Amino acid sequence: MLVLFEGMPGSGKTTQMREVKHALEKLGHAVLVPNTKNKFIRQLERVIKQRKLSFVSPLRELILWKIKELQDANLRSVVARTPRDTIILFDSHGGRSVAYSQCTLKEYRFGKEMWGPFFQKFLQGDLTIFLAVDHQTAKRRKPHAPTVRVPGFFREVERNYRKLAKEHRWHVIDTAKHSREETARIIMERILAALKTAHSGKAKK
């Protein structure tokens, strides 16, 4: 079972994945948090840093799309060789690229007719959790994150993320309204419900 986590910096994705992983393992579930970044992907990430590409740079977005494409191939490989009963937790897949690409320079902004087919190619999760966060909360949690330091840009990307969540029926959890423990509990409820549905489907077959 593949569970995808999406959200802005400061939304608590890394923390929640760690909490949920431990909770699932305590219940006896096999859990995997794969690392899909190889040497080439890290080189591409260094290009963005070394050139100091702006968040609204079309070149930066094209490089990020390539990174996500490579990570998708690596993730598919992991999923293919992992037992179906193992729960795979993965952080920020295609959704992040789509949300950011709508904030590039206006003359280079990718329309849905362009990013739509790319996004559909990404491996879809059995369950996608979107951790929503407002700018003030993100600023308190990750004040030095580049995206967080530009309020207008942060809000625009977050808005795009919410549109994606609604369109693709992701499970939205507002982390500013819930404590870390409550957020983890809600995520666990969603995952366990999805597992129950999956198992009942197998039983019927």
Report the half-sphere exposure of 27 (CA within 13 A, side-chain side).
14
Judging by beta carbons within 10 Å of its beta carbon (0-12, 13-18, 19+), is residue 39 exposed, middle or buried?
Answer: exposed
* pLDDT at res. 123: 85
What's the pLDDT tens digit per position in 21-58? 999 999 999 999 999 999 999 999 999 999 988 877 88
Check residues 115 and 10 and name the one with the higher pLDDT: 10
C-alpha atoms less than 13 angstroms from C-alpha of 75 in its C-beta half-sphere: 23
pLDDT in tens, 133-160: 999 999 999 999 888 988 988 998 899 8
pTM listed for this prediction: 0.87
Number of Cα atoms under 13 Å in the Cβ half of residue 159: 8
The residue range of the domain holding 135 is: 2-204
Say whether pLDDT at 203 is over 60.
no
34-43 long-range contacts (CB < 8 A, ≥24 apart) are: 34/74, 34/75, 34/78, 34/88, 34/90, 36/71, 36/74, 36/75, 36/78, 36/90, 37/71, 37/74, 38/70, 38/74, 40/70, 41/67, 41/70, 41/71
Return the CATH number at 164.
3.40.50.300
At residue 171, does pLDDT exceed 70?
yes
* Residue 126 pLDDT class (50, 70, 90 cuts): very high
Q: How many domains does one find in the chain?
A: 1
